[in-house]
Amino acid sequence: MREIVIGGAQMGPIQKADSREAVVERMIALLKQAKGAGCDLVVFPELCLTTFFPRWYMEDPAEVDFWFEREMPNGATKPLFDAAKQAGIAISFGYAELTPEGQHFNTSILTDREGNIVGKYRKVHLPGHSEFDTERAFQHLEKRYFLPGDLGFPVWRNMDALMGMCICNDRRWPEVYRVMGLQGVELVMLGYNTPSVNSQMADEGLEKRLYHSDLSMTAGAYQNSTWVVGVAKAGDEDGHPLMGGSIIVDPNGYVVARAAGEGDELIVHACDMDACNFGKSTIFDFARHRRIEHYGRICSQTGVERSA
């Protein structure tokens, strides 16, 4: 048995005016709660140091760069790294990254239990659009503010398990889990900021949005025989509702823990990494069963091509 007690630290809304320091205090409070619950690892949401700023249209680069972190840890987040190290808890969280070369990424990191960063992932699937869209009820400008990630989907050995990350919209793409599955992944961690309504279809509300989120993560878990931990930033951010629905999914695709509300809330489950072994060695033994001679289109084509 290789048990890791995992906490999904759902966060309630962060308003535009909230400081990083105030947010980090909330994250440390969740970390303390996780320590009390015996957690070894805590997963926080996507872009969890600030409001979900891609909903705001900005033209001034200086205004945009305000939302980005130039180094990690930095002054605002050092207390979080210190608290995690003191508690002996590994953490994963998302933030907007501005590199020394001036590149902008939607990033998440993973630490070991000593607070050292052992993994970095940059979001590959950027949803939304890059120019102001008058047709939408609200904006989703990730394509304006971020470059697509350039690190692929690596998997790291951490705490005697193979761990990978993806971010929000990535969770809807089966290729994401499979690329990590092909590296033997046992735990996929992800954070998300998902609006509770579809900006392009007013009658697509919370129920369907939660269903699609669950469907994506449970399928990814089952089809790759891996644990999946998906953690929301939720609630009303400056008048814009984000859904909750944070879950921990086992390698059979069952939801074993689920957040009840839309505020700061910790969900916990003792996850046995050895529970991945059966599926990986039977129905999803990739080496025996995959038929790559028929999968060429997946890597040679993006859009649909109809022959008739």
Residues 173-202 that bind ligand CDT (CB under 6 A): 192-194
Asked if 124 is part of the footprint of ligand CDT (rule: CB under 6 A), the reply reads no
Cα separation values, 113 from 4, 135, 158, 188, Å: 12, 46, 9, 18
Asked if 165 is part of the footprint of ligand CDT (rule: CB under 6 A), the reply reads no
Contacts 24+ apart (CB under 8 A), 282-288: 284/181, 284/223, 284/224, 284/225, 286/181, 286/182
Asked if 14 is part of the footprint of ligand CDT (rule: CB under 6 A), the reply reads no
Asked if 50 is part of the footprint of ligand CDT (rule: CB under 6 A), the reply reads no
Asked if 140 is part of the footprint of ligand CDT (rule: CB under 6 A), the reply reads yes
Residues whose CB is less than 8 angstroms from the CB of residue 201 and which lie 6 or more positions away in sequence, other chains included? none
- 3-class SS at 290? coil
Select which of 48, 97, 123, 265 is catalytic. 123
For the CB of residue 80, give the shortest distance to ligand CDT in the complex, in Å. Answer: 21
Active-site residue 271, yes or no? Answer: no
Q: How many residues bind ligand CDT (CB under 6 A)?
A: 10
Asked if 225 is part of the footprint of ligand CDT (rule: CB under 6 A), the reply reads no
Task: Give 127 or 184: the residue with its C-beta nearer to ligand CDT.
Answer: 127
Active-site residue 168, yes or no? Answer: yes
Task: Give 77 or 169: the residue with its C-beta nearer to ligand CDT.
Answer: 169
Give the Cα separation of 197 and 199 in Å (integer).
Answer: 6
CA 288 to chain centre: 30
**Rounded to 5°, angle at Cα 177 from 174 and 183:** 140
Enzyme catalytic residues: 46, 123, 168
Residues found near ligand CDT in the complex (CB under 6 A): 46, 127-128, 140, 168-169, 172, 192-194
